Structure formats: structure tokens, C-alpha cells
């Protein structure tokens, strides 16, 4: 069984605002005639899961994650209760076959009779580097910084931003996706895909991967500036790039943005400048386009 300690700290806040995704200092500047917002803080502590995986399902809020040096996991969040009759949320932390699952729901919905949002829950998860994280939301953003864990991120319309040396699976229907993949060795195939949103991926020159990129329009990249990288143009706005050397085992990285912009860049340093052991190339050039 998971050991847990859960508590709520209720803040009687004077913050008022018409938008529920604004920071407290922004909410404070709004007119008193607009709907009030009361904030609550949430925290949960528990042991690392046996399956080394934390799954967070939060349909109507943002999800973020960071690695820590501690052996336990921590979930924290900010609950927004909006208007005179705010929606009542439910959060459940459970052990599902060795996986720690965090599920946020609104049993009676989170909109009032006028269709206005009356509740929102933004969550953060802190895990050791050997614990992987899966995050699922419909309308929230997903943000992962300075990770060595494997990351799975799925959202319908939210934005995804990931920086890790681990494996990445990232999908969104209409949201933009930004991935800083600053590792060099990967054991399983990876996928980064958005139907309508932009996809921007940065890699290290030493990454042992084969990139397969697909889009309905010109793809920006700077891969041809590196003699060690073999780039093959395919029919349409597609290409295949082999970063691994001939004597190295390569992992497939599939990228697609069918209605958005797709770009692939070799960076001289990780976007988050995290010292996580991922080797970084010594130089980069301006992105080029393929498929014009």
C-alpha cells in the first residue's frame, strides 16, 4: 500500500478575474464586478511506485514535472474555485498494479449554467530520476524540465514542452509541441506528433537515432550542415535522417505535423542547460527547408 499524507491549505483570496488561467498578480488587477476566484493548495507525498511509473490524468488543468534527488514522490497543485457556486473537484491517488495514478475529476462538471468555467486544478509531480511520468490532459498545458526520466505526454488542445535525456512520446491534436531531446542513447522508438499544431524538436549531434519526419508543408531543419548526418529526401514534404554511425544501433524517432509547422534542429547546448550527462554537439547552423 502507498503511504500518503494529504492536506489542503485554503487561501481566502481577494483575487478576482474573468480568466481562470491567469497568475494571482494578474487576477488581483481585475474589476471587483467580475467573478471571484478562491485558491486552495494541495499536496501529497508517497513512496516510489513498484512499476517506476506515475500516471497523471487531469482533463481540465495544466501538468508539470521535475526530477528530484529524493526517493519519494510528491504531487502538489493549485485549485481554482471560480464564482459564487464553484465546481466541486475530486482527486484520487491510487496504486494500479504498481503504478501510482493521480486522477482529477469533476463529478458534476466544471462549468456553470452559462457555460463559464467554475473550476480548474493545475498539478505538479516531482519524482526521482528512475521514475517515469505519463501525463494526460484535454485542455491543459504539459511542461517537463530537466528530466532524465521517460516522458509520455498527451493533450487535446494544450501545449507540450519537454526537456529530457529519456524517451519521449508526445501527442496533441491542436496544441504546439516543443521537445529538447538532449540524450544520445535510446532503447525504444519515440513519437512526437501534432495534427494541427507546430512541432519543434532539438537534438544532439551524437544522438543514436534515425529521424523520420512528415508534414504537408516545407520542413525546417539544419541537418544537412553536418557531414556525419545522412539526409534522404522522400516524396512530398518528408525526409529521413540518420544520425547514428554505421556501427551503432539506431532508435527510430518519428515526427509529424500534418497541418502545422515542423522543424528539427541540432543544438550546441540543451535548451534548458541541464547537466544531465547528455552529450551536446559543438556547433549548429541556421535551419534550412526541405520540400519546397
Ordered by start, the domain boundaries in the chain are: 1-138, 141-292
Residue 202: CA count within 13 A, CB half-sphere:
22
CA distance linking residue 77 with residue 64, whole number of Å: 10
Asked if the model's pLDDT at residue 286 lies above 80, the reply is no
Residues 134 and 292: their CA atoms lie apart, in Å, by 37
Residue 71, pLDDT score: 92
The pTM of this model reads 0.81
Rounded to whole angstroms, the Cα distance separating 201 from 243 reads 14
pLDDT score for 271: 57
> Which pLDDT band, with edges at 50, 70 and 90, does 237 fall under?
confident
240-244 average pLDDT score: 91
pLDDT at 269: 64
Q: What pLDDT digit, counting tens, does each position of 147-171 carry?
A: 999 999 999 999 999 999 999 999 9
Report which DSSP code applies to 42.
E
pLDDT of residue 272: 54
Q: Report phi then psi at 123, rounded to 5.
A: -120, 145
pLDDT in tens, 246-257: 888 899 999 999
pLDDT at 43: 96
Write down the pLDDT at residue 145. 87
Maximal CA-CA distance, the chain: 68
* Tens digits of residue pLDDT in 39-55: 999 999 999 999 999 99
- Average pLDDT in the chain: 82
| Residue carrying C-alpha cell 490532459 | 137
C-alpha 142/C-alpha 152 separation (Å) is 10
Confidence of residue 267 (pLDDT cuts 50, 70, 90): confident
| pLDDT tens-digit readout, 169-180 | 999 999 999 999
Mean pLDDT of 177-201: 95
Q: Which residues contact 216 (CB under 8 A, 6 or more apart)?
A: 236, 237, 258, 259
Q: Quick one: pLDDT at residue 33? A: 41
Q: pLDDT: is 16 or 177 the higher one? A: 177
Q: Give the pLDDT confidence of 53-106 residue by residue, as tens digits.
A: 999 999 999 999 999 999 999 999 999 999 999 999 999 999 999 999 999 999
Amino acid at each position: 500500500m502507498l503511504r500518503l499524507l494529504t492536506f489542503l491549505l485554503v487561501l481566502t483570496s481577494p483575487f478576482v478575474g474573468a480568466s481562470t488561467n491567469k497568475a494571482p498578480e494578474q487576477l488581483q488587477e481585475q474589476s471587483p464586478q467580475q467573478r471571484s476566484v478562491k485558491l486552495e493548495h494541495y499536496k501529497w507525498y508517497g513512496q516510489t511506485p513498484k512499476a517506476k511509473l506515475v500516471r497523471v490524468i487531469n482533463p481540465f488543468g495544466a501538468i508539470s514535472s521535475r526530477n528530484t534527488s529524493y526517493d519519494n514522490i510528491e504531487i502538489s497543485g493549485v485549485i481554482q474555485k471560480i464564482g459564487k457556486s464553484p465546481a466541486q473537484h475530486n482527486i484520487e491517488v491510487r496504486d494500479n498494479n504498481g503504478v501510482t495514478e493521480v486522477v482529477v475529476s469533476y463529478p458534476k462538471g466544471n462549468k456553470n449554467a452559462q457555460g463559464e468555467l467554475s473550476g480548474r486544478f493545475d498539478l505538479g509531480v516531482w519524482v526521482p530520476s528512475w521514475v517515469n511520468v505519463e501525463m494526460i490532459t484535454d485542455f491543459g498545458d504539459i511542461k517537463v524540465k530537466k528530466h532524465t526520466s521517460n516522458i509520455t505526454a498527451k493533450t487535446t488542445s494544450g501545449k507540450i514542452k519537454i526537456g529530457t535525456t529519456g524517451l519521449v512520446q508526445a501527442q496533441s491534436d491542436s496544441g504546439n509541441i516543443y521537445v529538447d531531446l538532449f540524450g544520445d542513447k535510446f532503447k525504444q522508438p519515440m513519437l512526437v506528433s501534432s495534427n494541427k499544431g507546430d512541432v519543434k524538436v532539438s537534438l544532439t549531434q551524437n544522438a543514436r537515432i534515425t529521424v523520420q519526419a512528415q508534414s504537408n508543408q516545407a520542413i525546417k531543419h539544419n541537418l544537412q550542415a553536418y557531414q556525419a548526418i545522412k539526409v534522404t529526401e522522400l516524396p512530398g514534404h518528408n525526409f529521413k535522417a540518420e544520425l547514428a554511425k554505421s556501427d551503432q544501433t539506431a532508435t527510430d524517432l518519428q515526427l509529424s505535423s500534418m497541418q502545422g509547422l515542423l522543424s528539427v534542429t541540432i543544438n550546441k547546448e540543451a535548451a534548458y542547460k541541464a547537466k544531465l550527462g547528455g552529450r551536446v554537439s559543438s556547433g549548429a547552423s541556421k535551419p534550412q527547408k526541405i520540400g519546397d
